[in-house]
Amino acid sequence: MRQTPEVEATIAVAKEVSWMPVRKIPKNHLVVTGGYSSRKNAQIDAFESLLEKDYFLLLDFDETVDSFEPQPVRIPVPGVPRGYVPDVLVHYCPDPVAGVEPKSSLVDVKHTDDLAKHADKYAIKFEFARQFAEERGWEFKIVDQHQIRTPRLANLKFLRAYRNTTLVVEDIDCVLDCMPDFPCSHRSVLDRLAQTDDDRLRWLPVIWSMLLTGHLVTNMDEPFGSEVLISRGGARAWPR
């Protein structure tokens, strides 16, 4: 579809825009803002909603993600004085088999209620974001709460509470020595390791922490219950 001269001029300006990061998130009494400590990015990343913070957590523990940049670009939009700033630019790791690097994703994180309520306001912003992304070999995506607040997120929040557990080689070896060659319940491993209640209190954080470091693996898309099926991992060293 042919654009008006005003729109074409705006796109031309957008091509010259430099990025990373372009906007400081102010304090807001209406929504929760703050900083997320990202080990993958080795910095504190600002967020302006709890939904955005939850998305950062998913990205931080996604093995396919190389890095992500909050508030990455300011896109000029006709009628919008300050332009439009999407929430995050996600860069992915090259495909280990094909060696092809996937397109980066320019992402806006929104609740579906917000999207419905302000559909008209967002329409032109999203249109320009898609064009902006395509011109740079990226893709533009809208991610909502249904894609973020999943069992995986709940599991990661639980495990992340153990990220400061100190792991020593001897403890890792002890846990792995108790693991059979097939998936088993974390409780069965704990029963082999611990003879007393105090022993259980000592070893349980080690098991949870080893799921973070990749020495143990589980299906993160299944909600954790009283029995979590675990198996040996490849020590992927997820960010902690």
The percentage of the chain sitting over the pLDDT mark of 70, rounded to a whole number, equals 84
Considering the domain architecture, whether residues 133 and 182 belong to the same structural domain is answered as: no
Q: pTM to 2 decimals?
A: 0.81
Structure tokens at 154: 């709940």
Both 185 and 77 in one domain: the answer is no
Both tokens assigned to 40: 């993958």
The residue among 86, 121, 148 that closes a domain is 148
- The residue from 100, 115, 148 where one domain ends is 148
88 and 42 fall within a common domain: yes
Whether 84 and 22 share a structural domain = yes
From CA 216, how far away is CA 209, in angstroms rounded?
9
Considering the domain architecture, whether residues 46 and 130 belong to the same structural domain is answered as: yes
What gap in Å lies between CA 21 and CA 212, rounded to an integer?
29
One-letter amino acid at 103 equals K
Residues 133 and 69 placed together within one structural domain of the fold = yes
The structure tokens listed for 185 are 């319940």
**How many structural domains are present in the chain?**
2
Residue 154 counted as domain residue: no
Residue numbers of the domain that contains 188: 163-232
80 and 178 within one domain: no
Q: How far is CA 47 from CA 70, 108, 228, in A?
A: 8, 12, 31
Q: Tens of pLDDT along 159-202?
A: 999 989 999 999 999 999 999 999 999 999 999 999 999 999 99
- Of the pLDDT bands very low, low, confident and very high (cuts 50, 70, 90), residue 70 is very high
The answer, yes or no, to whether residue 5 has pLDDT greater than 80, is no
In the chain, pLDDT over 90 holds for what percent of residues?
72
Given a contact cutoff of 8 angstroms between Cβ atoms, the answer to whether 203 and 193 are in contact is yes
Both tokens assigned to 54: 């939850």
Is there a single domain that holds both residue 84 and residue 42?
Answer: yes
Quick check: 122 pLDDT over 80?
yes
Identify the pLDDT of residue 99: 80
Q: How far apart are CA 131 and CA 138, in angstroms?
A: 10
CA distances from 134 to 23, 94, 95, 142, 219 (A): 22, 19, 21, 15, 34
